[in-house]
Amino acid sequence: MKDRPQENDHKLMDKINGRRLAATVAALACMLLVVGGNTSASAGSCGIPDIMDINIQAGCPGVKGWPADKKKVVGFSHKAHSAGYLKGNSEYSAVKYHDDFTCRACHHGAASKQDITGRQPCERISEVMKGSGGPEHLKKYYHAMCRQCHVNMKKAKKAHGPVKCRGCHAGKHDVKKGEQK
């Protein structure tokens, strides 16, 4: 008689896959730092942009399989996350990190700034997506990483980021015209 997977085996695999998704989202967000200079504010200390555009479909149009960019993320506060929000909150993140290098929370596998900026971002994004189910799962990745951390912090009654759609998304986005509806 063959061994059948136990219920706990499925739960473990779901947990592992969820962490892979979260790690992928982190890597994607990190790589956007260097995609076409998509920052809407001046760079802060150490070259960390204050505000940046994390809508990677527009930044890496050559990657095949992106889902339609239906809801644009507006005004991602990159510097505030890296220098402030993430400090002391590793326990709420899908990817554990240390306060001396919070970049790892969103940039999976990064141990240094060079790990983040040392390669062509779209090439790295493509590789990360292939290893994590494909680019068609982008929304799932971002929600597993970003929104889930916000939800976890809210449950712990800590200051937290948005947990509802409109908190991050301004509404439907017409990618061709570049305007929000």
Beta strands in 10-142 (DSSP E): 71-73
Angle at 158 between CA 96 and CA 161, to 5 degrees: 75
Per-residue pLDDT reduced to its tens digit, 142-163: 888 899 999 999 999 999 999 9
Count of C-beta atoms within a 10 Å radius of residue 171: 12
pLDDT value at 24 more than 70: no
CB-CB contact of 39 with 53 (8 Å)? yes
- Alpha-carbon span 69 to 173, nearest angstrom: 7
Angle at 125 between CA 122 and CA 131, to 5 degrees: 145
Give the chain's domain count. Answer: 1
Beta strand 71-73 with 179-180: parallel, antiparallel or unpaired? unpaired
Q: CB under 8 Å to 118, separation ≥6 — which residues?
A: none
CB-CB contact of 99 with 88 (8 Å)? yes
Q: CB under 8 Å to 96, separation ≥6 — which residues?
A: 90
172 sits in which H/E element = strand 169-174
Residue 145 domain-assigned?
yes
Q: What is the pTM of this model?
A: 0.67
Residue 86 domain-assigned?
yes
Residue 166 domain-assigned?
yes
Residue 1 domain-assigned?
no
Q: Which domain holds residue 119?
A: 7-180
Q: What percent of the chain clears pLDDT 70, i.e. is strictly above it?
A: 68
Residue 2 domain-assigned?
no
- Alpha-carbon span 138 to 21, nearest angstrom: 9
The per-residue pLDDT of the chain, averaged, comes to 74
- Alpha-carbon span 81 to 49, nearest angstrom: 11
- Alpha-carbon span 35 to 45, nearest angstrom: 19
- Alpha-carbon span 33 to 110, nearest angstrom: 13
Per-residue pLDDT reduced to its tens digit, 25-57: 555 555 554 444 444 333 334 578 899 888 888
